[in-house]
Amino acid sequence: MNPLFSRLHRKLVVSCQALADEPLFGHMDVVARAAAEGGAAGVLTNGYAEIAQVKAAVDLPVIGVISQRYPDAEIALTATLSEIDTIWRAGADIAGLEATKRRRPNNDTLDAFYLRIRARYPSLLLMAEVATADEALHAQALGFDCISSAAFGYTPETSGRKLPDNDFAAFRALRSVVTRCPLVGEGRIETPSQAAQVLHCGADFVVVGSAITRPQTITARFVHAMHET
């Protein structure tokens, strides 16, 4: 196993992201430090500034992603080589990118995109974010370094579903086919017990975001529960 994945094995990675209109936007280095103090083994973050800030703030592996929409594409997560260039320059240890069947910019294919990344950055670790077992099998065959369930619930085949539903049946399906690289439990994991359960289902490590790092979302859950009482 790659030494970096050994550091993350059976541990928690905290997704520290904020949109431009959110209160914590621009302060992900502070959020990452808080996550590290709580015991996080790694951080996932979005955008050049945030990746660079987090890398300077914590001595933990950093997964970098870039969200950028294109008019001719359905995917927005690290969709072109330009975003990979940015992640590399910012110093991320792993680049995360969507590896689903959804339409890519310029009618690109995942296979061709993967080969271009490997040709330019042969040492950069790549994480494929998928939604289905078929997509996981394809990503594994291409040679991705790890596979994440983060796209589950966001594609036409899985729309509206949550990873923890039905005792993580969808994640168990991914685990049954991902045999040659680490499998990451990620996507709408909202409680510590759910994080522990996905680990029990075979995740090599777990990524949790909004349930930890978005105070407005956490507050809204409390307010909603109290209104329902």
pLDDT in tens, 118-171: 999 999 999 999 999 999 999 999 999 999 999 999 999 999 999 999 999 999
pLDDT given for residue 1 in this prediction: 78
CATH of 3-228, one of 3.40.50.300, 3.40.50.720, 1.10.3720.10, 3.20.20.70: 3.20.20.70
**Percentage of the chain exceeding pLDDT 90:** 97
Q: Domains of the chain: which residue ranges?
A: 3-228
- Nearest-CA neighbor of 66 among 98, 42, 41? 98
- Decide: residue 50, CB within 10 A, 0-12 exposed, 13-18 middle, 19+ buried: buried
pLDDT band for 228, please (50, 70, 90 cuts).
confident
Is residue 198 scored above 90 in pLDDT?
A: yes
Angle at 125 between CA 195 and CA 38, to 5 degrees: 35
Whole-angstrom distance, CA of residue 23 vs CA of residue 21: 7
pTM: 0.97
pLDDT given for residue 229 in this prediction: 83
